[in-house]
Amino acid sequence: MARKNKGWSYDAMAGQKIRIRLKSYDHAVIDSAARKIVETVTRAGATVVGPVPLPTEKNVYCVIRSPHKYKDSREHFEMRTHKRLIDIVDPTPKAVDSLMRLDLADDVNIEIKL
């Protein structure tokens, strides 16, 4: 018999996979957040695949240096978005609860798909 908690049953989570996608502008912050997630989930007893580094998205912006004149003088700025992918295979209820309580940096954007 499945135990119920907060509307979902623990047995229903048995064949599922949780996919966590992290995005950040700073590679050091995203690596520490991924390390923290992997340590927390493995401590809770679930199997983890990753973190898998995804291709870095690079946006380059071209700006004219002078406000009125010298159109040939331009400056380039770039913004890099680093991405990581973590899969949690057969998550345990303890792993899901520990993920809900996990506190990460504000610089990291987190997308979770079941």
Q: Is 1 a residue whose pLDDT tops 90?
A: no
Give SS3 for 66: coil
Q: Establish how many alpha carbons lie within 13 A of residue 114's alpha carbon, considering only the half-sphere containing its beta carbon.
A: 8
Give SS3 for 111: strand
The pLDDT score that the predictor gives to residue 104 is 87
Q: Match 């700025």 to its residue by tokens.
A: 77
Phi, psi (degrees; rounded to nearest 5) at 16? -95, 170
Pick among 3.90.950.10, 1.10.540.10, 3.30.70.600, 1.10.8.350: CATH of 12-56+82-113: 3.30.70.600
Q: Enumerate the domain spans of the chain.
A: 12-56+82-113
Over residues 19-38, the mean pLDDT reads 94
Chain segment 51-63, per-residue pLDDT in tens: 999 999 999 999 9
Which has the higher per-residue pLDDT, 9 or 75? 75
Chain segment 32-54, per-residue pLDDT in tens: 999 999 999 999 888 899 899 99
The pLDDT score that the predictor gives to residue 59 is 97
Percent of the chain with pLDDT over 90: 53
Q: Is 88 exposed, middle or buried (0-12, 13-18, 19+ CB in 10 A)?
A: buried
The pLDDT score that the predictor gives to residue 45 is 85
